[in-house]
């Protein structure tokens, strides 16, 4: 809704679009609580948003002062209609992503702004995605919005060179959107399948354009399909996280795995090797069953990935694969080198590695991990591990 209305107004008035959408959902919260959810909630929201937009166009003088000459000349009976058709939504979302990912801002600001405007991320969620603090992200987004307003550019069809230059930032936005869905920082949900589905939808839209249908785009899609295939197996009936080794593989979605195979084949054209190719390869091996060289292949891919796109989380994940190949004891030093003392996943991994031979140290790290998360599902999973270790003492 923000994308469609924002495209209608022009990006310089994006705050107006965000306000209208926020008011629409506020009306929905009040109305639906009293009258119940309508038969077609989506259509209801679109209708209210369109009515709010019409009211704004009619009564807000500030808009009439700033709107385009075409709209300034229009009478009230000629007010433009906003259409929330599937085609217009797809076109608007894609146009908005590429518009927000303008080179006038640095890549990190482009991505942060896209996550906030188009993906609805909070400052805290964006800070988590960037492994940064909320205040830094807030200032980054404020500067990015100011730059876009001052640049005063329109949302329009971009030339080939502009699409290509902005594609990497668009890929990263979709990637981070999926990651938030796959392991959410929300206190109420550890997995948000709506975000995972939206990320796949956006990536699929990229494949419909010859310019953006690149090997990297297909590799990203393969990664998202492989990761999504295991979502149903990652939580139990009580909403607790299930570790990879304990997942029921019969719950893995074979259709999504097959789709992943399709996109990884498409990605292997030409000479391009992106981080998404390597991550898709890692995700592919995670979905294989009964291959004795599985973890050796995963570790090898992690080694390559760290060379072209180092990140602390990737290094942590590599340490888990290293433990699968060489054993937990030899992997402890690999983990300690990272020294991510304020990171939940770091202490969870150390708890896992120490649990085999150093139970008290394992408990200590699990307790530290527990203090670093607000997710009820993660806390439950940690408590279960701590209790199992205490039973060994």
Tens-place pLDDT, residues 87-122: 777 677 777 888 888 888 898 898 998 888 877 888
The b-or-e profile of 239-258 (16+ CB within 10 A means b, else e) is ebbeeeeebeeeebbeebbe
Whole-angstrom Cα Rg for the chain: 23
Tokens of 35: 């009258």
pLDDT greater than 80 at residue 267? yes
Query: pLDDT digits over 33-51, tens only?
Result: 999 999 999 999 999 988 8
Domain-embedded: residue 169: no
User: Which pLDDT score, from 0 to 100, does residue 53 have?
Assistant: 84
Domain-embedded: residue 336: yes
> Mean per-residue pLDDT for 121-134?
86
Domain-embedded: residue 38: no
Query: pLDDT digits over 218-240, tens only?
Result: 999 999 999 999 999 998 887 77
Tokens 């694969």 appear where?
A: 321
Range from 124-138, 239-253, 294-308 that averages highest in pLDDT = 294-308
- 134 versus 117: the higher-pLDDT residue is 134
> Mean per-residue pLDDT for 262-276?
93
Tokens of 204: 């699929």
Collect all residues with Cβ–Cβ distance below 8 Å to 338 and sequence separation of at least 6: 312, 315, 316, 319, 346
Q: Cα(113)–Cα(126) distance, rounded to whole angstroms?
A: 9
User: Which pLDDT score, from 0 to 100, does residue 50 have?
Assistant: 87
Q: Cα(35)–Cα(129) distance, rounded to whole angstroms?
A: 38
pLDDT greater than 50 at residue 361? yes
User: Which pLDDT score, from 0 to 100, does residue 130 have?
Assistant: 85
> Mean per-residue pLDDT for 14-40?
90
User: Which pLDDT score, from 0 to 100, does residue 72 have?
Assistant: 52
User: Which pLDDT score, from 0 to 100, does residue 76 have?
Assistant: 44
Query: pLDDT digits over 172-188, tens only?
Result: 999 999 998 898 766 56
> Mean per-residue pLDDT for 55-83?
57
Parent domain of 339: 315-393
Domain-embedded: residue 344: yes
Say how many domains are in the chain. Answer: 1
> Mean per-residue pLDDT for 70-95?
62
End-to-end CA distance of the chain: 56
Query: What are the helix (H) ranges across the chain?
Result: 2-9, 14-35, 41-59, 61-66, 69-72, 86-100, 107-117, 123-129, 134-151, 160-182, 193-207, 215-228, 254-267, 275-286, 294-308, 312-326, 328-336, 344-354, 359-371, 376-390
Domain harbouring 319, CATH code: 1.25.40.10
Domain-embedded: residue 177: no
Tokens 């796949």 appear where?
A: 200
User: Which pLDDT score, from 0 to 100, does residue 315 have?
Assistant: 95
CA distances from 257 to 133, 206, 217, 392 (A): 36, 20, 17, 39
Predicted structure pTM score: 0.80
Contact, 375 vs 238, CB < 8 A?
Answer: no
pLDDT greater than 90 at residue 380? no
Domain-embedded: residue 139: no
User: Which pLDDT score, from 0 to 100, does residue 227 have?
Assistant: 96
> Mean per-residue pLDDT for 202-227?
94
Q: What is the DSSP string of 122-181?
A: -HHHHHHHTT--HHHHHHHHHHHHHHHHHHT----PPPHHHHHHHHHHHHHHHHHHHHHH
User: Which pLDDT score, from 0 to 100, does residue 245 have?
Assistant: 84
pLDDT greater than 80 at residue 258? yes
> Mean per-residue pLDDT for 288-295?
92
- Among 104, 174, 128, residue whose Cα is nearest residue 136: 128
User: Which pLDDT score, from 0 to 100, does residue 75 have?
Assistant: 42
Domain-embedded: residue 15: no
Q: Mean pLDDT lowest for which of 49-53, 146-150, 296-300, 307-311?
A: 146-150
Domain-embedded: residue 359: yes
Q: What is the mean pLDDT of the chain?
A: 87
Phi-psi category of residue 154: left, alpha or beta, with phi > 0 → left and psi -120 to 50 → alpha: beta
Nearest-5° angle of CA 309, CA 315, CA 321?
120
């Amino acid at each position: 809704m923000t994308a469609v209305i924002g495209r209608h107004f022009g990006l310089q008035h994006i705050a107006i679009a965000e306000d209208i959408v926020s008011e629409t959902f506020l009306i929905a919260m009040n109305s639906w609580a009293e009258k119940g959810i309508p038969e077609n909630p989506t259509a209801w929201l679109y209708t209210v948003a369109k009515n709010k937009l019409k009211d704004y166009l009619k009564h807000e003088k500030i808009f009439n002062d700033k709107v385009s000459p075409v709209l300034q000349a229009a009478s009230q009976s000629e007010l433009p209609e906003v259409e929330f058709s599937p085609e217009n939504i797809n076109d608007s979302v894609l146009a908005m992503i590429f518009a927000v990912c303008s080179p006038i801002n640095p890549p990190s600001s482009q991505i942060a702004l896209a996550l906030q405007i188009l993906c609805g991320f909070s400052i805290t969620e964006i800070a988590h995605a960037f492994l940064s603090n909320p205040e830094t992200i807030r200032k980054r987004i404020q500067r990015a919005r100011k730059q876009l307003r001052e640049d005063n550019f329109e949302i329009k069809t971009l030339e080939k060179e502009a699409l290509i230059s902005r594609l990497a930032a668009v890929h990263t936005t979709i990637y981070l959107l999926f990651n938030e869905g796959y392991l959410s920082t929300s206190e109420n949900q550890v997995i948000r399948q709506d975000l995972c589905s939206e990320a796949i939808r956006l990536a699929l839209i990229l494949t419909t354009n010859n310019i953006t249908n690149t090997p990297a785009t297909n590799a990203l899609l393969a990664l998202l399909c492989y990761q999504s295939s295991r979502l149903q197996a990652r939580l139990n009936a009580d909403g607790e996280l299930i570790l990879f080794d304990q997942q029921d593989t019969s719950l893995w979605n074979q259709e999504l795995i097959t789709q992943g195979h399709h996109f990884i084949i498409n990605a292997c054209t030409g000479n391009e090797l992106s981080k998404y190719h390597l991550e898709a390869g890692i995700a592919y091996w995670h979905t294989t069953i009964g291959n004795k060289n599985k973890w050796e292949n995963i570790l090898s891919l992690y080694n390559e990935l760290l060379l072209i796109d180092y990140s602390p989380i990737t290094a942590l994940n590599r340490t888990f694969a290293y433990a699968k190949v060489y054993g937990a004891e030899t992997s402890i030093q690999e983990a300690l080198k990272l020294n991510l003392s304020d990171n939940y996943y770091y202490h969870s991994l150390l708890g896992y590695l120490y649990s085999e031979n150093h139970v008290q140290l394992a408990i200590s790290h699990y307790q530290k991990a527990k203090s670093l998360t607000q997710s009820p599902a993660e806390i439950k999973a940690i408590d279960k591990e701590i209790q199992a270790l205490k039973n060994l003492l």
